[in-house]
Amino acid sequence: MRTLLSICCLLTLLLSGCAEDLEGNRVLRLAHGLDTGHPVHLGMVYMAERLAELSNGELTISIYPNNQLGSERQCLELLQIGSLDMTKVSAAVLENFSPEIAVLSLPYVFRGREHIYKFQDSPLGREMLSASEEFRLRGLVYFDAGQRSFYTKDHPINVPADLQGEKIRVQLSATAIAMVQALGGSPTPISYGELYTALQQGVVDGAENNPPSFYTSRHYEVCKYYTLDEHTAVPDVLMIGTEAWARLSEQERSWLQAAADEAVVYQRELWQEAEADALAKVEAEGVQIIRPDKGPFIEQTAPILESYRSQPRLYSLIQQIIAMAPEDEG
């Protein structure tokens, strides 16, 4: 694995002097780990196009996908030291840098798409984007990463008891680990790039993710049961380093934020289309789609939310988010 030092050297060699183009216009460097067909990547491409239009080419974005410049955590560290301008990370990774963000990864804080969007577009959602500034990281917008659900190899998950003893791959996130434990499973952090092989070899019995990721990863080739319990709705977050942000003028900041906000609307449409398409395609490949009663899952994970009572700030955030749920999603 490349170390932070080696990545910094790579950036120095490849990108030094690239903060401006040949005409002297500013160029922001954005790196992330997604492939170029992913709806979030396409949303960022749209953002770059709109930024170039809004600024008449005075401020542009150069995108480096597919982990070219490191993992999500490594890219965040590069933002912190000013060697990279922007990145996209999962909130599950960001919680290691900004504790408040952890509440977005809690089970059943969000009850549906309308609830998710209402929070993300709210003053509270905007406020939480800036919670990481003390760590030299500033959030610009949330991108839709759908709702995560369980998929397994050997049997379907209809009720929480079906997870008893099952080894379930999770992200390296304390909240994800606690959720699987609460449901009776055995959480097993494994690199996403190693997960297909881990499923094949029986290192884990299943995993959890959103429909487009389940499809594009080809995990459906191994796991033939997909349970839409939709336990979490962990967003992707577009980040800029505070050092890069400080270098921008007020006009440049305005252009960038406007382009990012427009990209959110565009990306949400792409995501909904990708979800429907992914579910249809995995079902055509023989995957059994299970739509369980979410009540038992909500009830069994409720103590996780209650455990935050001892942390007044975080517990208040949880309650404010839950209170935003529309009546038909509450």
Q: Yes or no: say if 48 and 60 are a contact pair by the CB < 8 Å rule.
A: yes
Q: Where are the alpha helices (DSSP H) in the chain?
A: 4-15, 39-54, 72-80, 91-94, 113-120, 123-129, 174-182, 195-200, 211-216, 242-247, 250-284, 295-306, 312-323
Provide φ and ψ at 185, rounded to 5°. -85, 175
The lowest-confidence range among 12-26, 93-107, 302-316 is 12-26
What pLDDT score does 10 carry?
A: 53
Read off the pLDDT of residues 70-95 as tens digits, 9 standing for 90 and up.
988 899 999 999 999 999 998 988 88
What pLDDT score does 193 carry?
A: 80
Q: In the chain, pLDDT over 70 holds for what percent of residues?
A: 92
Residue found by looking up tokens 């789609």 in the block: 289
What pLDDT score does 16 carry?
A: 45
What pLDDT score does 21 carry?
A: 63
More confident residue, 38 or 271: 271
Over residues 254-260, mean pLDDT: 98
Entry pTM: 0.86
Over residues 279-300, mean pLDDT: 97
Over residues 33-59, mean pLDDT: 95
Over residues 291-318, mean pLDDT: 96
Give me the chain's average pLDDT, please: 91
Over residues 38-44, mean pLDDT: 94
Q: Yes or no: say if 256 and 59 are a contact pair by the CB < 8 Å rule.
A: yes
Give residues with Cβ within 8 angstroms of 293, minimum separation 6.
159
Read off the pLDDT of residues 184-226 as tens digits, 9 standing for 90 and up.
999 999 988 899 999 999 999 999 999 998 998 999 999 999 9
- Number of Cβ within a 10 Å radius of residue 193: 11
Q: How confident is the model at residue 290 (pLDDT cuts 50, 70, 90)?
A: very high
Structure token digits, residue 330: 């509450």
Q: Taking 60 as the threshold, does the pLDDT of residue 18 lie above it?
A: no
Q: Taking 50 as the threshold, does the pLDDT of residue 161 lie above it?
A: yes
Q: How confident is the model at residue 4 (pLDDT cuts 50, 70, 90)?
A: low
User: What domains can you pick out in the chain, each with its CATH number?
Assistant: 4-97+132-144+234-276 (3.40.190.170), 148-233+284-323 (3.40.190.170)
